[in-house]
Structure 1
Amino acid sequence: MADVYRLGFVGAGNLAESIARGVANSGVLPPSTIRTAHRRPERCAVFESFGVRILETNQQVVDDSDIVILSVKPQVVKEVLLELRPFFSEEKVLVSIAAGIKLHDLQEWSGHRRIIRVMPNTPSAVGEAASVMCLGQMATKLDEERVSCLFKAIGKIWTADEKYFDAITGLSGSGPAYIYIAIEALADGGVAAGLPRELALGLASQTVLGAAAMVNQTGKHPGQLKDAVTSPAGTTIAGIQELEKGAFRSTLMSAVLAATKRCQELSQSKPL
């Protein structure tokens, strides 16, 4: 028998929409078991369009849900949780996807300890998210299984200690932007070599997609896959030599470290 429970979203933005759509489309939960609330009718209409139940207030969403996904902007998390604090009974699970807000603060503001923190990324919009979760002190094995199942509906999910979350943000949270720049640069290179823009962009994006799939599906180390396409004195090694001259690897590593550092700084400056 399918595991059916009520899922609520406090915050009905784009990421919440991606998760709700993925959950509904994959059959993890029927759309009728999902609920949210929003002041803007157009956001409500989007959720209603795929069967989500719309309630009048966030308090009603929490009261009427078994698992509550907190998907508001980080700067308003404290205000929202303090307002919803009376509605978090012991049997409810609070799942926060607010970047940079630690379990300790979530527990303090909500008065609740059955919490799971999740860091997804923007490819959730196309079902290819890289998400990581860490468990609060009272989260159960069933809670972990249910939340894992929810986020598998929009991609892949890992479990890690919270101490890694700043680095996770620097890598998978900010990482899509690095790859967009790489795709744009590859396409520009194709145009510089004489290709039409549309063809160059299509080839660049599909090449990145295919290379990522090779790593994920073969289980081989990226260096091994790189060596397999790099013939002696061939075209690929000539290109790789230029990447090494431009410190391509070191620059990407530095980008992850810089984003991690910035996330640490933001995490330390708590909301008022």
Structure 2
Amino acid sequence: MDVLRVTTSNTVSNRAAMGFEVAESTRLGFIGAGQMAEAIARGLVGKGVIPAQRITTSDVSPGRCKVFEGFGVSVKSSNADVAADSNILIIAVKPQYVRVVLDDARPKLTKNHLLVSIAAGIQLKDLEAWAGGDARVVRVMPNTPCLVGETAAALSAGSSATKEDVELVTGMFSTIGKIHVVNENLLNAVTGLSGSGPAYVYLAIEALADGGVRAGLPRDVALSLATQTVYGAAKMVNDTGKHPAQLKDEVTSPGGTTIAGVHELEKAGFRAALMNAVVAAARRSEEMSGQ
């Protein structure tokens, strides 16, 4: 596939992919127009990776199709039509429907197609079998912050996928966040951590804001402070390279307010609860994949 190369490593971020471009011949298709597909499509369009006019989609929901039409994406009447009009095909439906949509698209699939599945739990071997034995397939586990250019994603490549395919997918997703190349057996853990993780953080932000309201703050002020606090703390970890424990110690004065709050979190099992949430989601992903 004719793309400009990017330097790849086990982790690629949007900063490392500033010069990434796809060829003018590249056409992107989404089978499924749900929230995650929208986040990816809007992110890629917003970052200038590919114009909306070179993207197509299909979905059983007229409402979701209208959402895509609203930012310039063409809607096709069938999954086969999307496949015929694209050379990169993103499978963005619920796991139980992946085989059905690949059966629909298969008559239009050729050796020039690269298939990218974002369906949790569907293994590469099954994707390859359903799409055709020598299909070029890459699995990606992104998360919804790709809509704001801050996804945390991981990918694994199928047996027929080339180095260039991995570079292409890595480059695309690195423009909207960070992506890691991992062995497929680790994707369930990725699902449990970063795939489901935004929900855990949203709960934390909501709880922090509720705490602020309980302490007397107006709701809008409490939510703004909670949101900016989480954002700023994450940026501190990302930008300084310091371990979170070190940053926590730096703000925790002896006998002060922060250690009083940390003590309450420890008594409530805060860290264990988050760890258990990741493991539970990862196990559910394993169950869905039949592993």
Q: Normalising by structure 2, report the TM-score.
A: 0.87
Among residues 49, 53, 66, which one is paired with 1:45 in the alignment? 66
Q: Which amino acid is 1:53 matched to? A: S
- How far 1:161 sits from its partner (Å)? 0.8
Cα distance in 2 for residues equivalent to 1:39 and 1:243? 45
Among residues 84, 87, 90, which one is paired with 2:111 in the alignment? 90
TM-superposition CA deviations, 1:134-155 (whole Å, max 9, x none) = 1111111221122122222332
Correspondence for 2:139: 117
Q: Which amino acid is 1:192 matched to? A: R
Correspondence for 1:3: 22
- Determine if the alignment matches structure 1 residue 182 to structure 2 residue 208: no
Q: How does 1:1-272 map to 2 (within 5 A)?
A: 2-4=21-23, 5-111=26-132, 112-268=134-290
Cα pair 2:191 2:285 within 8 Å, conserved: yes
Cα distance in 2 for residues equivalent to 1:90 and 1:142? 14
Cα distance in 1 for residues equivalent to 2:238 and 2:180? 14
| Unaligned runs of at least 5 residues, structure 2 | 5-20
Structure of higher RCO (CA pairs closer than 8 Å, 6+ residues apart):
2
Cα pair 2:42 2:147 within 8 Å, conserved: no
Cα pair 1:67 1:93 within 8 Å, conserved: yes
Cα distance in 2 for residues equivalent to 1:166 and 1:43? 28
- How far 1:40 sits from its partner (Å)? 4.3
Cα distance in 2 for residues equivalent to 1:40 and 1:242? 46
- How far 1:202 sits from its partner (Å)? 1.3
Cα distance in 2 for residues equivalent to 1:30 and 1:196? 42
Give 3-state SS (helix, strand or coil) of 2:217's partner. coil
- How far 1:21 sits from its partner (Å)? 1.4
Cα distance in 2 for residues equivalent to 1:90 and 1:213? 42
Aligned residues: 269
Cα pair 2:37 2:92 within 8 Å, conserved: yes
Cα pair 1:77 1:98 within 8 Å, conserved: yes
Give 3-state SS (helix, strand or coil) of 1:156's partner. strand
- How far 1:176 sits from its partner (Å)? 1.4
Identity between Structure 1 and Structure 2 (%) = 57
